[in-house]
Structure 1
Amino acid sequence: MHPIDDRKLFWRLLLPFAAGYFLSYLYRTANAVIGPVLARELDLGDNALGLLTSTYFLAFGAAQLPLGMLLDRFGPRRVEAGLLLLAAAGAAVFALADGLGGLAVGRALIGLGVSACLMASFKAFAQWFPPERQASLTGWIMASGGLGALAASKPLEFALGFAGWREIALGLTAATLAVAALLWLAVPEKADDHKGGSLGEQLAGVRAIFASRHFWRYAPMGFCFTGGFMAVQGLWASRWMNVQEGMAGAEIAIRLTWISGAMLAGFLFMGFFATRLVHRGIRLERVYLGAMAVALAAFAAIALLPQFAGDLLWPVLGACFSLSNIAYSLVARAFPATLSGRANTALNLMVFAGAFGLQWGFGVLVDALQAGGLATAAAYRSAFLALLAAQVAALLWLLRPEPRP
C-alpha cells in the first residue's frame, strides 16, 4: 500500500480525475457559447435549444443511483475510464449530427459518459486519504471544474473564430479518449476494495437515503438552486444577456468568463479554508446558508434590474453556486460511511433532475409566454422570476426545524 503522504500517489490520483472533471464541466457549459451558433445554422428555437442542452443533464442524472453502486463494486478507475468511452462516442455523434435528433443523442451520451467524473474522484480520495484531507482534495477537483467552465466561455468563443463547432467537438472526442486512457493506466487500484455488498443490500441503502427526512431537507435546494444555476449558466444566461442587456457574443463570452472565474475562486476557497473554518468552530451550515441567501439576493436583483451591476452580480452568483456544493458533505455526514457515496449520488440525482427539468422548462415557458403575446424581454423576466420563487420556497423549506428522530 502506498503511504498516504506519498506525492507520487497524490499526483497519480489528482491529475487524471481533475482532467476528467475539467472535461465534464466544459461539456456541461459549452452550449452557452455554441448554442447560438447551432440555433442559427440549424434553425433551432428556444424550446428545441433548451431540450438539446438539457439532455446532458437528463442522462447524467439518470446515471447517478446505479453509479453509486457501480463505484462501490468495481472502483472509480474502471467505472470512470469505461464511461468516458461513451462520452467520446457522444462527442463524435454530436460532431457528425445534422439535426436536433442526432445532436440530442450525442449530448445524452456525453452526459452519461461524464456522469462519474466527480463522484469517482470522491470515491478514490476516500479510498486512499484520511478524512481530514478530503475537503482540500474536493476543493482541488472542484477547481478543475471551474477551469473547465472558464474554457467553455471566452476561450471557446475565441476557438470558434478559427474552427467550426463540428471540428471542436471532434477535438473533444480525442481529448476524452486521452483522459480515459490516463485514468486506466495511471490510477492505482485499491486492493480488496470492490465489495460493496450484494445488490439487495446496496438497494436497501438507497431506500434508506430516500426515506431520510434529513436528505429531503436539502433535496429541494439541490433541485432548485444548484440545478437551477446549472440550467441558467449552461444556456439561458447568455440568452438573457443578449435579450435584456443587448450584449453581443464577444461581450457575453467575457461576462461568462467572469462568472466562471468567480466559481473557480469559490472552489479554491472551499479547498483552502473549509477545514480551517471547521477547526475554528464555524459550522459549514452557516457558510452554506449565508452563501445561498446572498445568491438569492443577487439573482433577484438580476431578474428585476437586469442592467444594474450585471458585471458584479453574475460573478457573485457564480461564487455562491460553488459554495452550494457544501450540501454534499452536509447530506452525507448524516449517514454511515458505507452509505456516503450513495448519499452523494442521490443528491446529485436531484441536482441534475433540476438542471434538466428547469433548463428545458425555461425554454418551454419562454416560448409559451411569447405565443401568448408577451414581449421577448418580458417573457425572459417572467421565467427568471418563476425560478427565483422556486428557490425561495426551497430555502424556506430547508430552514424549517428538523424533527428529532
Structure 2
Amino acid sequence: MAAFRQQTEAQDPASNTGHQSGPHDDAIDRRSFVPAWTRASQPIEALAQNWRLIACVFLPFAAGFYLSYLFRNINAVIAGPLTAELGLDAGQFGLLTSVYFLTFAAAQLPVGILLDRYGPRRVQSSLFVVAACGAALFALSESFLPLVLSRALIGLGVAAALAAGLKAIVLWFPKERLPLANGWMIMLGALGAVTATTPVEALLASIGWRELFLFLAAITAACALTIYLVVPDAPSAEPAVNKETVPGLRTVFTDRRFWRLAPLSATSIGTAWALQGLWAAAWLTDVERFDRALLVRHLLVMAVALCLGALLIGWAADRLRNRGISLRTLLGSLAALFIAAQLALIFRCFSSSYLLWAMIAAVGSGTVLSFAILAEYFPKELTGRANAALNVFHMGGAFALQCLTGFVIQAWAKDHGHYPEVAYQTAFAINLLLQIIALVWFSLPRQQSLTSAIRARRYSVTSASESVVRFGMKKHTTPNLAPHPQTPFMRCLTCGSIRPLGDRLMPMVARPAV
C-alpha cells in the first residue's frame, strides 16, 4: 500500500500547469484520484495525533498543576474551622500555611536535575504519591506539629507540577506550538485557585475539612497513577549532566543582573502569593468584618484576576515591547502599581476593596515578566536553571513573608475574636517597605545611567562651545538643519541601557558650521 501511494503521488508535471494532453487525460485523472484521497486522510490522522497528545500528555500534567494551585490556596478557606478546632493562633497558622512554600522552594533545583535525568512521567508520578500521603496525614492530624509535617509533604509532592508539565510540552509538542501550550497549562492550573473558593466552601459546609483532605488525597493518588500509566516515556532521554549543572548554576548566581531582579520579583510576587493564599481572608474577616459568603466572593474575584492577569500581562508585554518599552520597565511599573494598591488598601482609601484585591492577586502572575527577563539575560542552555533559581526566591519569599506577617499580627491581642486593624496595617507596611527597597535596588542602575548621561551631555556641549570660541568660529556658526541621527544619549533613554557610557558619549559634541 505504501509503495502504491508513492507511485500514485508522483504527479505528471503537465497536470500541475494545466497542460492539455488529450490521450493522457484519462490516465492523469486515475493517477490524481488516489493522492487526493490520501491528502484528505492526512488532516484526520494529524487531528487524531493531536488529540492523543492532549489526552495522554497535556491533560494529565495540567491536572497535576491544577492540584498544586488548589493545595496552595485552600488554607485561606479552611482557616476558620481549622483554627477553631485545633486552637491555632495567627503565628502558628501562618507558619503552617507558609511551610508549603518552604519545601516547594527547597526542591526546585533537585527537581530540575531529576526531570532531565528521569523524565517528567516518573518524577511527577513519584512526587504526587508524596503529596497524596501528605494530604491524608493532614486530614488525620490532631495537633500542630503533624499538620506542619503534612503540609510540608504536600509542598514537596507538588514541587514539580509546573516544571514537569513544561518539560513534557517541550518533549512532545511541536516547537511552534510551545507558547500556546504553555499559556494553556498556566491558565488551567490557575483554575485551581478558583476552585479553592466557592466550590471548596460548598464541600467544606457539607463534609468538613478532614473529609475534604481525604478526598483530595484520593484524587492526588489517582492523578499520580494516571500520569504513570497513561503518559508515555520521553522520546529521548538525556544523560546526567552533573558536570555541567554546577557551572551553570554558578553562572546564574554570580550574574549581577540576576541579583538586581531576584529581590524585586521575590518580594512583589511572594507578597501577592502570601496575601492571596492566607492573609487576604484574614484581613477581610478581622478588618472588614465580612461574612463567609462575601469573603468567598472576594477570594473568587482574586482567583479570576490571577487567571486573567497572566493573559493581560503577556499581551501587554508583547504590545509594549514592539513599541520600544523594555520588559524591565514594565516589571518596574507593575511593582510600583502593586505598591500603590497596597498603600490604598492599608489606608483604606476606597469603600469597596474588590478592585484593590484583584490588582494584588493579578501581580501573582508577574512571573510571566520575570522569566522573560531571565531569557534575555542568559542563553537558552541556562534558561531552565535560571528559572529554577528564580523560582527558589519566589517560593522562599512567599514563605518568609507569609510567616513574618503572622508573627507580626500575633503581637497584638485579639479583640472579641478578631485581631485589630493596626496589626494588619503594621504587617503589611513591613512587606511594603521591603518591596520599596527592592524596587529602588532594581531601578538603581538605570537611574545612575541616566544621571551620568545627562552630566556627560552637559559637559560635552559646554566643552564644544568653549572650543568654538577658542578657535574664533563663533561668528560664523550657522544652525545645522541636516537630520541628526539618534545619539547614544537618546538610545540610553529609550533602551534603558546600563552599559558604560564613556566610549559612547565621545561623538556627542556640537557640529561645526557647514
The reply to whether TM is greater than 0.5 is: yes
Write the distance in 1 (CA, Å) between the matches of 2:178 and 2:441: 29
- 1:102 and 2:146 correspond: yes
Write the distance in 1 (CA, Å) between the matches of 2:283 and 2:359: 17
User: How many angstroms does 1:369 deviate by?
Assistant: 4.6
Counterpart in 1 of 2:212? 168
Correspondences of 1:215-226 after superposition (within 5 Å): 215-226=258-269
Larger radius of gyration: 2
User: How many angstroms does 1:125 deviate by?
Assistant: 2.2
Correspondences of 1:174-253 after superposition (within 5 Å): 174-197=218-241, 199-253=242-296
Alignment-mate amino acid for residue 242 of structure 1:
T
Alignment-mate amino acid for residue 164 of structure 1:
G
Deviations 1:52-98 (A, max 9, x none): 11111111111011111111211222111111110000000001100
Counterpart in 2 of 1:77? 121
Write the distance in 1 (CA, Å) between the matches of 2:170 and 2:377: 17
Write the distance in 2 (CA, Å) between the matches of 1:186 and 1:214: 42
- 1:35 and 2:53 correspond: no
CA contact (8 A) 2:270 2:364 kept: no
Aligned residue-pair number: 400
Write the distance in 1 (CA, Å) between the matches of 2:130 and 2:318: 36
Deviations 1:255-290 (A, max 9, x none): 000000111112334677766765676644444333
- RMSD in angstroms over aligned alpha carbons? 2.5
Correspondences of 1:250-265 after superposition (within 5 Å): 250-265=293-308
User: How many angstroms does 1:20 deviate by?
Assistant: 0.7
Alignment-mate amino acid for residue 235 of structure 1:
L
Equivalent of residue 379 in structure 1, options 409, 415, 423: 423
Counterpart in 2 of 1:24? 68
TM-score, reference length from structure 2: 0.73
CA contact (8 A) 2:273 2:361 kept: no
Counterpart in 1 of 2:478? none
User: How many angstroms does 1:248 deviate by?
Assistant: 1.7
- 1:114 and 2:158 correspond: yes
Write the distance in 2 (CA, Å) between the matches of 1:121 and 1:276: 27
TM-score, reference length from structure 1: 0.91
Alignment-mate amino acid for residue 294 of structure 2:
E
Alignment-mate amino acid for residue 436 of structure 2:
V
Range with bigger deviation, 353-362 or 109-118: 353-362
Counterpart in 2 of 1:68? 112
Write the distance in 2 (CA, Å) between the matches of 1:355 and 1:102: 22
Write the distance in 1 (CA, Å) between the matches of 2:257 and 2:46: 36
Equivalent of residue 141 in structure 1, options 175, 185, 193: 185
- SS of 1:160's partner is helix
User: How many angstroms does 1:308 deviate by?
Assistant: 3.2
- SS of 1:268's partner is helix
- SS of 1:192's partner is coil
Deviations 1:293-331 (A, max 9, x none): 222211211112165330111112222322343212221
CA contact (8 A) 1:132 1:275 kept: no
- 1:397 and 2:436 correspond: no
Counterpart in 2 of 1:93? 137
Alignment-mate amino acid for residue 270 of structure 2:
G
Counterpart in 2 of 1:388? 432
CA contact (8 A) 1:57 1:352 kept: yes
- SS of 2:445's partner is coil
User: How many angstroms does 1:141 deviate by?
Assistant: 1.6
Write the distance in 2 (CA, Å) between the matches of 1:67 and 1:332: 20
Percent of aligned positions with the same letter in both sequences? Answer: 41
Deviations 1:206-230 (A, max 9, x none): 2221111121122112321111111
**Alpha carbons of structure 1 residues 398 and 132: separation in structure 2 relative to 1, 3 Å:** farther
**Alpha carbons of structure 1 residues 278 and 188: separation in structure 2 relative to 1, 3 Å:** farther
Write the distance in 2 (CA, Å) between the matches of 1:76 and 1:95: 28
Write the distance in 2 (CA, Å) between the matches of 1:272 and 1:193: 34
Write the distance in 2 (CA, Å) between the matches of 1:276 and 1:179: 38
User: How many angstroms does 1:105 deviate by?
Assistant: 0.7
Alignment-mate amino acid for residue 215 of structure 1:
F
- 1:303 and 2:346 correspond: yes
Write the distance in 1 (CA, Å) between the matches of 2:399 and 2:366: 21
Deviations 1:13-69 (A, max 9, x none): 321111111100100010001122111000000011011111111111110111111
Counterpart in 2 of 1:362? 405
- 1:293 and 2:326 correspond: no
Alignment-mate amino acid for residue 92 of structure 2:
A
Alignment-mate amino acid for residue 127 of structure 1:
L
Counterpart in 1 of 2:58? 14
Range with bigger deviation, 101-110 or 281-290: 281-290
Write the distance in 1 (CA, Å) between the matches of 2:252 and 2:82: 40
CA contact (8 A) 2:314 2:368 kept: no
CA contact (8 A) 2:268 2:338 kept: no
Write the distance in 2 (CA, Å) between the matches of 1:328 and 1:3: 32
